[in-house]
Amino acid sequence: MFQRHSHPLLHKFAILGCAALLLSGSAMADGQLRSLPDPLQDLTSSTGQQTAVLAGGCFWGIDAVFKHVKGVTSTTSGYAGGQANSASYYQVSRGTTGHAEAVRVVFDPKQISYGQLLKIYFSVAHNPTELNYQGPDHGTQYRSAIFYSNDAQRQVAQAYIKQLQSMKLYPAPIVTQVAALAAFYPAEDYHQNYLALHPDQPYIVANDLPKLEHLRQEFPGVYQ
């Protein structure tokens, strides 16, 4: 299988086939789609918009999934975990900056909760059992990570991971990092809304379009 190229002007490619498709969702870790439980601990609704920052492999797929979730008002692909002077695709792709490819999700908590976003994140957006890689993409920049902006988010994220682990829903341990968000740096313009602009690219077809189909099947009430 082709891996993602590190040069910022080159595209990612993947061989089409069952092996690539089975890497598409977190509940597909052993080839079986699962329905995950609601978080036992969640944040109560509040006024105004809130933000979640999530990482799990290439930001193209994470961005595309949450763009199709009702209650999400905007998504931005970018970098989190490193310093401002290394927040560029060329540098991050080297895997030495501390950054992860991440997506900033702005949402209306009256329509969807932070915990429900995490349920989607663990169900269809990525595979939380893959350490420092995701499908064909390898390196710490593709790690599974939740970047929390306050202690309430941290508590919900840690509690949900503990809940899922205790239920033994995956064939391997969840390796998702829960880390404080120091800053989020938007990625270059050509990375924004990538799936919608390149729906026929082989990497997108193999790795990201199946995530949208899983979202539609598993979460019909919030799919848009």
Active site residues: 58
Distances (CA, A) of 60 to 102, 107, 165, 199: 9, 18, 27, 11
Closest-CA residue to 109 (of 182, 40, 51): 51
- Which tokens hold the place of 71? 């209650």
Distances (CA, A) of 28 to 6, 49, 65, 117, 124: 26, 31, 16, 18, 8
- Which tokens hold the place of 158? 């840690």
Q: How far is it, in rounded angstroms, from Cα 18 to Cα 201?
A: 17
Q: How far is it, in rounded angstroms, from Cα 122 to Cα 200?
A: 25
Give the H or E element holding residue 138: strand 137-138
Asked whether the beta carbons of 141 and 62 are under 8 A apart, the reply is no
